[in-house]
Structure 1
Amino acid sequence: MDELTDAVSQAGGVVRVSALRSRGWSRRAIERRLATHMLTRPRDGWVALPGADPLLVAAARAGVVLSCLTQAERLGLWVQGDGCVHVAAPPKRHIGEVSDGTRVHWARPLVPRHPDVLVDPVENVLAVVARCRPHEQARAVWESALRQGLVVRESLRLLPLAPLARALLEECSLHSDSGLETVIPVRLRFLRLPIRQQVWLAGHAVDFVIGDRLVLQVDGGHHVGAQRRSDIAHDARLKLLGYHVIRIDYVQIMTRWSEVHDVIVRAVAQGLHRAR
């Protein structure tokens, strides 16, 4: 790798020729690297390293930006994927051919997109997610972004959000430790009961308290070994204090929710959520 290809690498592996020219690289130098296959040309005006991120290369080739679930996942947000590559482009813009399984979101961005950038700013990502995904999935992505500090609620409020996105923002809680904990209050709203998150009981925080006494704990992948033994001991202390504890995990929430639903509604029907 020489200085020019190193500059391309530092720019993410895919870069506009005009950006390189503005940094002092001549067109001849760029063409020489193309001729020797040190660089590739995904589209007129763009160059890429041979081993560049294929999603970025495809975005440059089509004239779009990575957005919605695809960029949310790249940012490390909690995402329930749908198997598609999500990209965005301004309305009525002519774009190149996209591969099968690519979903193009035609939308005017909240935050202007720089022509040299192939990924949407996080604010645009969230706005597209709000339109694209079911409510509980969208809320999980939004809460993940807020929880990780990628966006600030007060700053988002100043943007010209669509009504759906604005309502979503106001619903978001910072108490959820994961996307799993986001979807549960949404799914249980029909109970019309108080649902508190991250409540300190018997020396530890519990994930949810439904009503006064029904505790719902969400187990992640770390609930094994010593952690699992600690959880069991804590459950026992809660039961001695008059709480009823229900434990569920990722698979139950995402693929067997009807079973979880049945257990919770029957617990409520038996009055296990009420203080005795």
Structure 2
Amino acid sequence: MNASAHAVAARVAALGGIVRSTRLIDEGHSRRRIARALELGLLIRVRRGWVVVPGADADLVAAARHGVVLSCVTAAARAGLWVAHRPEVPHAAYPGWGRVMSSAAVVHWQRPIVPRHPDALEDGVENVLLTVATCQPYEAARAVWDSALNRGLVDLAALRRLPWTGAARRLADEASPWADSGLETFFVVRLRWLHLPIRVQVWIADHRVDVLIGDRLVVQIDGGHHVGAQRTADIAHDAELLLRGYHVIRVGYEQIVHRWHEVQERIMHAVAQGLHRA
């Protein structure tokens, strides 16, 4: 019996560490074996119908315990997407059945854009984008959508075939796979009013530049990795760009996120002087 209990626990671990009891039963594991695994501490019951192995993913365990599905910015951050601000309170979605037991999370109640499996504890990328679209301000949501496209987690053509409405429809129409970070998305969105061509990740002088405004105004957005050898390479590339007739402006994370007015004013003056023209 103990060997069978260990086999049940091993199966739960193979399924990600948390699973519905009904799935184990459907696979041929008896209720008695599951009960024995619980007695031995090989499994833990977090809620009726859900069992986990000790040390399972804490976020997924919490989702099962409270009857929700991880979604929105919480799931986006877990997937490695660019999120402007990590939420202090988890964001989740109502799974469509059962009772939600959590008051310590922001719960989204939209119908998923892609059908959600009853065993899911974390939304797929399209459903994450849906909840982000209705929860976050446009530019923050756009950064997440652009990030998902840039990382290849979703295809733009397939994304646009889905029946989006409202804010999500606009994001599906305007999102782009070319922004390498949310800072580039912010930059493009915030300067659309200039009505100038603003392109990201353009290849010039054997390197990509973060943003190209018009024909000649390059904006490089420095993150924390722009030090040491990277910084030396950046300086050399800036010099090459200048020799080829480009004008280069460098800004950092702190400026874009917290002192945008300074960045915008610098761009406005550069454009006024025609530095974006060939």
TM-score when normalising by structure 2: 0.92
Tell me, in whole angstroms, the C-alpha distance in 1 between the residues paired with 2:48 and 2:208. 56
**Comparing 23-32 and 200-209, the one that deviates more:** 200-209
Instruction: Give how far 1:218 is off.
Output: 1.2
Residue 31 of structure 2: aligned partner: 27
Mapping for residues 1-276 of structure 1, pairs under 5 Å:
2-80=6-84, 81-89=86-94, 95-100=99-104, 102-275=105-278
Q: What SS is found at the alignment partner of 1:58?
A: helix
Tell me, in whole angstroms, the C-alpha distance in 2 between the residues paired with 1:133 and 1:143. 14
Tell me, in whole angstroms, the C-alpha distance in 1 between the residues paired with 2:99 and 2:191. 42
Tell me, in whole angstroms, the C-alpha distance in 1 between the residues paired with 2:219 and 2:252. 11
Q: Taking every aligned residue pair, what percent have the same amino acid on both sides?
A: 58
TM-score when normalising by structure 1: 0.92
The aligned length equals 273
Unpaired runs of 5+ residues, structure 1, are: none
Residue by residue over 1:46-97, the C-alpha shift from the partner in whole angstroms, topping out at 9 and shown as x without a partner, is: 1112211121111111211111111111222111223221100157x55332
Is 1:58–1:98's contact at 8 Å kept on the other side of the alignment?
A: no
Instruction: Give how far 1:215 is off.
Output: 1.0
Unpaired runs of 5+ residues, structure 2, are: none
Instruction: Give how far 1:156 is off.
Output: 1.7
Residue by residue over 1:187-224, the C-alpha shift from the partner in whole angstroms, topping out at 9 and shown as x without a partner, is: 11121211122223233221111123211011233322
Tell me, in whole angstroms, the C-alpha distance in 2 between the residues paired with 1:196 and 1:115. 42
Residue by residue over 1:12-63, the C-alpha shift from the partner in whole angstroms, topping out at 9 and shown as x without a partner, is: 1111000010111111111112222221111111111221112111111121
Tell me, in whole angstroms, the C-alpha distance in 2 between the residues paired with 1:173 and 1:122. 16
Is 2:94–2:100's contact at 8 Å kept on the other side of the alignment?
A: no
* Cα distance, 1:16–1:90 mapped onto 2, change above 3 Å: closer
Is 1:195–1:209's contact at 8 Å kept on the other side of the alignment?
A: yes
Structure 1 runs of 4+ with >3 Å offset: none
